[in-house]
Amino acid sequence: MRLLLVEDSARLAELLGETVREAGWRLDAVTSIADAEAALALSEHDLVLLDLGLPDGNGLDLLRTIRRQHKDLPVLVITARGSIEERIEGLDAGADDYLVKPFHHREFLARCRAMLRRSPTALQPVLECGGLRFDPATAELSCDGVPVPLPPRERALVELLMRDAGRVVQKRKLELTLSEFGEEMTANALELAVSRLRKKLQPLPTRANLVTVRGVGYMLQAEA
Ligand code: CA
């Protein structure tokens, strides 16, 4: 799952960013309408979290643009503007849900989950390789039915490798896909994530091996 956060308050963006990443989703965080439009053009997102008071305009205008260009992309408006009229205006402009600040992070997550259940990513089948299972809807890895807790980066990495299990995934592709807006994943960071993932997989009763293909990339391969 990849979320786009459009929020100009650095403090709130940091808090929501942490919450979203801990849930196992990737996040692109931007602070203006212009950057949000650029991010939407660059990558596919499963959910947009939208603040309304933005430095270069009203988030409702961005919402109307999103509705024209990405008809099915769910949008959760997050704002301090909580009067009945404002909520109605937001929903009429195309918001799927509306959350008024301040809110509890658990309610925020529950609303995100509710919206993500309908996203095309959530409808993707569970990935399997050599006893490992990864459920794209919950972003959870398990081995022979036992959950395997992973930090966000390694979780995203194992998902990408399982999607292409048995095939080499190029380093460059992994770097690009794992990069979040404004925070690029370097070759060193990728190597580190791979070695951490390998350590996590090692003690598991899995028949999947994480293979390094020198100079090309990595492959998750189930033993025959
Ligand atoms: Ca704001």
Q: How far is the CA of 16 from the centre of ligand 1 (A)?
A: 14
For residue 181, what pLDDT is reported?
A: 63
Segment 33-77, tens digit of pLDDT = 999 999 999 888 999 999 999 999 999 999 999 999 988 899 999
- Per the CB < 8 A criterion, the answer to whether 196 and 146 are in contact is no
Say if residue 148's pLDDT is above 90. yes
CATH architecture of the domain covering 127-222: Orthogonal Bundle (1.10)
Average pLDDT over residues 6-26: 92
Give CA–CA dist 123/27, Å, rounded: 20
For residue 137, what pLDDT is reported?
A: 76
Q: How far is the CA of 13 from the centre of ligand 1 (A)?
A: 10
Segment 176-212, tens digit of pLDDT = 888 876 677 889 999 999 999 999 999 999 999 999 9
When mean pLDDT is compared across 17-31, 148-162, 174-188, 210-224, the lowest value belongs to: 174-188
With 0-12 / 13-18 / 19 or more C-beta atoms within 10 angstroms meaning exposed / middle / buried, residue 178 is buried
Segment 83-116, tens digit of pLDDT = 999 999 999 999 999 999 999 999 999 999 999 8
Q: How far is the CA of 32 from the centre of ligand 1 (A)?
A: 9
Q: How far is the CA of 119 from the centre of ligand 1 (A)?
A: 26
For residue 182, what pLDDT is reported?
A: 62
Q: How far is the CA of 53 from the centre of ligand 1 (A)?
A: 4
Average pLDDT over residues 5-10: 96
Q: How far is the CA of 26 from the centre of ligand 1 (A)?
A: 22
With 0-12 / 13-18 / 19 or more C-beta atoms within 10 angstroms meaning exposed / middle / buried, residue 11 is exposed
The string of DSSP codes covering the chain is: -EEEEE---HHHHHHHHHHHHHTT-EEEEESSHHHHHHHHHHS--SEEEE-SEETTEEHHHHHHHHHHH-TT--EEEEES--SHHHHHHHHHTT-SEEEESS--HHHHHHHHHHHHTTSTTTTSPPEEETTEEEETTTTEEEETTEEE---HHHHHHHHHHHHTTTSPEEHHHHHHHH-BTTBPPPHHHHHHHHHHHHHHHTTS---EEEEEETTTEEEEEE--
Q: How far is the CA of 65 from the centre of ligand 1 (A)?
A: 18
Question: Would you list the domain boundaries of the chain?
Answer: 2-116, 127-222
Q: How far is the CA of 5 from the centre of ligand 1 (A)?
A: 12
Question: Cβ of 170: how many Cβ atoms within 10 Å?
Answer: 13
Pick the CATH number of 2-116 from 3.30.1330.20, 3.40.50.2300, 3.40.50.2000, 3.10.20.30: 3.40.50.2300
Q: How far is the CA of 179 from the centre of ligand 1 (A)?
A: 25
Q: How far is the CA of 51 from the centre of ligand 1 (A)?
A: 6
For residue 133, what pLDDT is reported?
A: 96
